[in-house]
Structures are given as structure tokens and as C-alpha cells.
Amino acid sequence: MALVETDLDGGVLTVTLNDTERRNALSRDLVSDLVATLDDADADDAVRVVILTNAGTVFCAGANLAEQSGRSDGGQSAGRTVGMAEVFSRFRTSPKPYVGRIAGHCVAGGMGLAAAMDISIGVEDATFGFTEVRIGMAPAMISVLCLPKMREADARAAFLRGNRFSGAEAARLGLITQAVPAAELDAAVDAVVADLLLAGPGAIAASKRLLAEVPAMAVDDAFAWTQQLSAELFTSEEAKEGMAAYLEKRPPSWASKG
């Protein structure tokens, strides 16, 4: 069976991590397949929203330890074409919105996947945690994604203790957007997806650029750039359609495509 499965329905691409035997660990093969899937999703205009979820009871157990054991190259072997940094950055730079449907346990590198989503919803009783210190490692790359979402005091405790905590606690820490009972997971994800399908695809892409670029800018530079971006958006065909639809009290053209 494929390590990464996909299903496109009504503009929504569901991407399922399907290496249940290895608890969806981030092996070279799974990572390569995931990046190829992201490439296809970004290039396909029929894809409006991407959901990342899991088969089995584990969303992602982090690195494939059997594969990594004994290597001194940081996981970048000569035969490896992609790495986790590329995966994480793809979610940030993609013009498409990514929704995490965290339907199982999520630890170590899996925390990076959950935090990389634009919006992520997990089950309350799933186990989360930065467990790297307990095998002599540290949450290195995923700290880039997780630290901006956390209070320093919470990050210090979670990184240094390596303890596991519930989905509800992961939401409190800001690592995922929301935690819900398992029976309510699909309804919560569907509500988010429905909102995203009402938004203009170009507007979503522009909003993701703001989220990625504005925090790193000086204030004056940010105002200058966002003023230019706003002017460009106002003259776009998408914005013209959106404003006309609002004034005419009808749905915009893209709202019927999902």
C-alpha cells in the first residue's frame, strides 16, 4: 500500500499518512512521497484545500529511529532527495490552506507537522509531546515551528521534561488550533473547510504571504509592502468579483466550486 494516500473531493484533497506499521514515522520514503504529493497539490487548480491526516492510531511518531540509528549526517544521506526542513517549509510557503486532522498520537517530529498546518484540529485524548530528550536528542528543526506559538515558560517545560500531554493541553499551548472529542473531529474539520471554500483562492494565498513575511519585517517596510499588496489585490479580478458579489448579495463565483 502507498505510504501517502490521497483523495480529491469537491476541491478538498485529503492526504493520509498510511505507514501504520511504523506509526507514520518520517522515513525517507514517506517524506519523499509527501513532498511529491505537496508538489501535485500546489500545481493543481482543482485543489482548494488540503487536509493532512493519518491512518491508524498514530498521526506521526517523529523520525524513523531504525532508519536514523547509526547515521552521523543528520538524516541527509547521499540517496535522500528531500528532508524534513523542506516538508515543513512547504506548508508555510504553499498558496493553498492546509488543515491538520490529528486523529491520533503525535510526538517528536510529528509535533512539527501538526504545528506547520495553517489550522490544526486534534482529538482531546491523543498523546502529544516533545519526547526527543528521552532518547538523547533535542526538538531541533521543529523548534522553528513550535517556539513562535508557545510562551517561553511552556516551551522550556515541554522541551526539557520530554513528558507527554493531551490534545487539550496541546491546544492550550498553541501547538494546535483546537482539540475536540474524537466523535466531533470530522464535524470540526468540516466546519473549517467550509469556511476556507468561501474564501477567494488568491486571497488565501495573499493572506498566507502576510503570515509568512510580515513578522520578519521592520514596521516601515511592512507598511510599504502591505500597501502595495493591498493596491494589487483591489485591482485583481478576484477582488472585483468578490466586491460585486457582495453588493449584489450573491455568492462569489469561487464559492460554488468547492
59-113 pLDDT tens trace:
999 988 777 665 544 444 433 446 788 888 889 899 999 999 999 999 999 999 9
pLDDT recorded at residue 26: 92
pLDDT recorded at residue 218: 97
Q: Which segments of the chain have a pLDDT < 70?
A: 68-82, 256-258
- Which residue has 476556507 as its cell numbers? 196
Domain 200-256 in CATH 3.90.480.20? The answer is: no
pLDDT recorded at residue 82: 61
pLDDT recorded at residue 63: 85
Q: List where CATH 1.10.12.10 sits in the chain.
A: 200-256
Angle (nearest 5°) at CA 169 between 165 and 174: 125
Q: What is the pTM of this model?
A: 0.91
Known catalytic residue at 237: no
Q: List where CATH 3.90.226.10 sits in the chain.
A: 4-197
Q: Which amino acid type is present at position 101? A: R
Q: Which amino acid type is present at position 51? A: I
pLDDT recorded at residue 56: 95
Q: Any alpha helices (H) in 103-254, and if so which ranges?
A: 109-116, 140-146, 152-161, 167-172, 185-198, 201-213, 219-234, 237-247
Q: What backbone torsions phi and psi does residue 190 show, to the nearest 5 degrees?
A: -60, -40
Catalytic pick from 21, 67, 132, 241?
A: 132
> What is 4-197's CATH number?
3.90.226.10
- Please tell me the total number of residues recorded for the chain in this structure: 258
Given a contact cutoff of 8 angstroms between Cβ atoms, the answer to whether 74 and 131 are in contact is no
